[in-house]
Homo-oligomer: A and B are copies of this chain.
C-alpha cells in the first residue's frame, strides 16, 4: 500500500498503529507452549499489573473485548445482572447478558448522560443482583462515568461483582483496580493501547475467581478458571494471537519509557487541546461537564453542518478519518480521538485540517 493512500485514523478505534508496533508484530512465530512464549508472557506480567493497578494476574484473551464482556457474565452472574447503560456499547451489554440466558435488568440513562452513584445505589438496593456492569468510558458518546464514586457505592453491596470495561480509557488515566475494588477490569487492544484489534486483556479479583469456580456452564473459551490455571505457567488456554502479544510487549516498552504518569498527563493535555477547539468553534459537548472522556471527544453538531460530507472532505483532502457519529446519534455528533501515540503536533494537524474543511 503506497503512503499516499494511507488514511490516518482519528476515529475512536481502531486507531493509528506505529511503525514500531508493526515491526514487533513481524517477529518469527514461536510455539505457544514453548519456553519462548512463557518468557514473553511472564516477562510482561509485572508491567501489566502496574497498568491494571492490581496484584492479581493479568490474562490475555484472543478475542475482541466483547468476548471477555460476555465471558464475565457467563462466569459471574448466577442470580441477576444490573447493566449500567448510557450509550451504544453499554446498552448492548444488557442485550448480550440476556443472550447468555441471564436474568438482566437495565439501568438506562439517556445517551450522553452519566450513570451516577445514586442511580446505582437505588437499583441495587432493590436486591437480587449479584453482578453490575459498567463501561467506564462509553466510546459511542464520549461519556466518562465517575468511577471512584461508583466504586464507593459498590462497596455497600459486597455480594455484587463489579465488572468494568475500560476499552477506551485504559492506560490514559489511572484505574487502580484493587484500590477501587473492581472485580473484573477488561480492555481491548485497538483503542487506548493503539495496537491492531484481536487481543483483549483482563484481570479478575480473588473473590470473583472463587465465584467463577462454582459457576456451571461457563464454557471453555472464556472460562476464567482456565485462564488462571494456564497463567500460573505463563500460558493461555487456547493458542493465542502471538503477533499481537509481541506488539503488546513493544507497546509496554513505549508506555514505561514515556512513564505511566507522563502518559496520563499527555492524554489530558491533548484532550484539553481538542476541548479548546470545540469551544472556540462554537460547538458543544455531547456529555455534560465533569463526565467527559479524556481520550476521545464526542461533539454535538449544534452548528448543524452536514457531517457525512465533512467527513468525506477531510478524508479526501487531508487523508484523515474522523467518526461521524455512532448509531442513533450519527450526523448529530462527531467524534475525535486523542488516544494512543498522538502528540501536540499531530493533534494540531488534525485541528487545522478540521478548520480547513469546515468552512
- Measured CB to CB, the residues of A under 8 A from B are 1, 6-7, 9, 11, 13-17, 22-23, 25-32, 34, 36, 62-67, 70, 74, 95-96, 99-101, 188, 190, 196-199, 216-223, 237-244, 321, 323
Contacts and interface: CB of A to CB of B under 8 A. Distances in A.
Given A25-B22, A239-B14, A7 B30 contact: yes
A197 B67 contact: no
A14 B32 contact: yes
B70 A219 contact: yes
Given A11-B31, A198-B242, 4 more contacts: A62-B67, A63-B238, A188-B239, A196-B241
Say how many copies of this protein the assembly contains.
2
A241 B238 CA distance: 16
A43 to B, nearest CB: 14
A16 to B, nearest CB: 7
Closest 7 A/B residue pairs (Cβ) = A198-B241, A101-B217, A64-B238, A22-B26, A196-B243, A96-B220, A197-B239
Nearest to A22: B26
A193 to B, nearest CB: 13
A217 B239 CA distance: 26
Most buried by B among A13, A17, A241: A241
A225 to B, nearest CB: 10
A184 to B, nearest CB: 16
Contact of A62 (B30, B32, B64, B243): B64
Contact of A15 (B29, B63, B96, B100): B29
14 contacts: A1-B28, A11-B31, A13-B239, A23-B26, A29-B190, A31-B321, A64-B238, A66-B237, A67-B221, A70-B219, A99-B223, A100-B217, A197-B241, A243-B243
A54 B19 CA distance: 38
Given A14-B239, A29-B17, A64-B62, A101 B216 contact: yes
B32 A28 contact: no
A243 B99 contact: no
Contacts of A238: 63-64, 66-67
B31 A219 contact: no
Contact of A29 (B14, B70, B223): B14
Contacts of A32: 14, 197
Contacts of A237: 66
Contacts of A95: 220
A26 B27 contact: no
B29 A198 contact: no
Contacts of A190: 29, 239
Contact of A221 (B63, B188, B242): B63
A120 B217 CA distance: 27
Contacts of A217: 99-101
A102 B251 CA distance: 41
B66 A99 contact: no
A36 B319 CA distance: 14
Given A239-B64, A241-B244, A243-B196, A218 B26 contact: no
Nearest to A1: B27
A34 B101 CA distance: 32
